[in-house]
């Protein structure tokens, strides 16, 4: 974890209320993993006091500039965040100009576990609204070693052998990052609430249909980020179809580094009561009852923000 002054390379509106900011922060970008976040001081003033969390959206490579970099064929890494203007902090961020500096801490948290999959099996990524942000970096990493196969017919990538990305948005104007996923070789399907593009309905309905038909290929793993009700539904679907699933949660944060416990969620406890043996029996030989409230608290900023869906008690 580093705290640095990162120079803003660009800060561009990509849709109404949505911005992409590119930061010159090679030391943080170098260490960042998909699903991790940076913690940003949006203002140089006293207010807003608390930092704001943003997922690492993308890492881009820039050509070397100094003679040392040229000699060592070093590529500079820049980092992007994708954000929606919601309140005071993001409003201030949207006003920032290229060349200004931003106080950031990162990379923070536990990101997605990139479990190896057989070459023929491809995961599904599901993003709702600005929840699509961390999935581009994830797709960048997943796509590295999983280039789409080409058919012998027309040399086109075979759709059934690609990472499938499902993007959920209210209307077609709010569909984010479609081109970027396609550039990475992913197959992209879109769901809009009003049906202005793609499937009409929630992205979870689209996922449900795909899982029901097990098409275009058996789904070995789901990665998702978006609003909590969407993630809860995806967790239920994953359980129903017995698919391992990781989700990235958003929770209001204070310290951002695991110290204040202000961002906790409930997780099932795997601990047995002290008197119980490992086989769930009391020292007397009687069966022990599972305690009714057997949960522990986990910190979204430190133990997450990415969790396996089974690690979360969905309330």
Ligand X SMILES: Cc1cc2nc3c(=O)[nH]c(=O)nc-3n(C[C@H](O)[C@H](O)[C@H](O)COP(=O)(O)OP(=O)(O)OC[C@H]3O[C@@H](n4cnc5c(N)ncnc54)[C@H](O)[C@@H]3O)c2cc1C
> Omega of the bond prior to 216 within 30 degrees of 0, cis?
yes
- Contacted by 82, from ligand X, ligand FES, none: CB < 5 to 8 Å by type: ligand X
297 binds ligand FES (CB under 6 A): no
d(CA 263, CA 250): 9
Burial of 18 (0-12, 13-18, 19+ CB in 10 A): buried
Which residue of 15, 255, 276, 296 would you call a contact of ligand FES, by CB under 6 A? 255
- Shortest separation between residue 257's beta carbon and ligand FES, angstroms: 7
d(CA 21, CA 81): 5
DSSP 184-252: TT-EEEEEETT-SSSEES-HHHHHHHHHHHT-SS----EEEES-HHHHHHHHHHHHHTT--EEEE----
Span from 182-190, 198-206, 245-253, 266-274 in contact with ligand X (CB under 6 A): 245-253
Which residue of 21, 263, 265, 267 would you call a contact of ligand FES, by CB under 6 A? 263
258 binds ligand FES (CB under 6 A): yes
Nearer CB in complex with ligand FES: 113/255: 255
37 binds ligand X (CB under 6 A): yes
d(CA 21, CA 58): 10
Residues between 62 and 101 that touch ligand X (CB under 6 A): 81-84, 86-90
Binding mask 201-220 for ligand FES (x = CB under 6 A): --------------------
Nearer CB in complex with ligand X: 43/209: 43
Nearer CB in complex with ligand FES: 93/263: 263
- Contacted by 258, from ligand X, ligand FES, none: CB < 5 to 8 Å by type: ligand FES
Helix, strand counts (H, E) of the chain: 7, 16
Question: Which two tokens mark 292?
Answer: 């009714």
Question: Which two tokens mark 200?
Answer: 């009409």
């Amino acid at each position: 974890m580093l705290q640095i002054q990162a120079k803003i390379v660009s800060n561009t509106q990509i849709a109404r209320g949505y911005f992409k900011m590119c930061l010159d922060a090679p030391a943080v970008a170098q260490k960042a993993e998909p699903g991790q976040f940076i913690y940003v001081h949006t203002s140089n003033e006293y207010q807003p006091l608390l930092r704001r969390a943003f997922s690492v959206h993308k890492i881009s490579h820039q050509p070397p500039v100094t003679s040392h970099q040229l000699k060592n064929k070093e590529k500079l890494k820049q980092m992007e965040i994708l954000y929606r203007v919601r309140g005071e902090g993001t409003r201030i961020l949207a006003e920032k100009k290229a060349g200004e500096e931003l106080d950031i801490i990162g990379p923070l948290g536990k990101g997605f576990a990139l479990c190896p999959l057989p070459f023929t099996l491809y995961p599904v990524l599901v993003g709702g609204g600005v929840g699509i942000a961390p999935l581009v970096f994830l797709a960048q990493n997943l796509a590295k070693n999983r280039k789409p196969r080409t058919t012998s017919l027309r040399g086109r990538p075979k759709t059934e052998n690609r990472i499938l990305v499902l993007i959920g948005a209210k209307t077609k104007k709010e569909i984010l990052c479609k081109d970027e996923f396609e550039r990475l070789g992913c197959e992209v399907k879109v769901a809009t609430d009003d049906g202005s593009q793609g499937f009409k309905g929630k992205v979870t309905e689209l996922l449900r249909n795909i899982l029901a038909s097990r098409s275009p290929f058996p789904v070995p793993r789901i990665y998702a980020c978006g609003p909590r009700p969407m993630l809860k539904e995806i967790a239920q679907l994953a359980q129903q179809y017995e698919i391992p699933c990781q989700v990235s949660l958003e929770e209001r944060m204070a310290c951002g580094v695991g110290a204040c416990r202000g961002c906790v969620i409930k997780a099932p406890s795997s601990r047995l009561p002290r008197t119980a043996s490992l086989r769930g029996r009391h020292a007397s030989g009687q069966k022990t009852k599972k305690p009714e409230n057997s949960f522990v608290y986990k910190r979204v900023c430190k133990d997450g923000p990415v969790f396996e869906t089974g690690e979360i008690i969905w309330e």
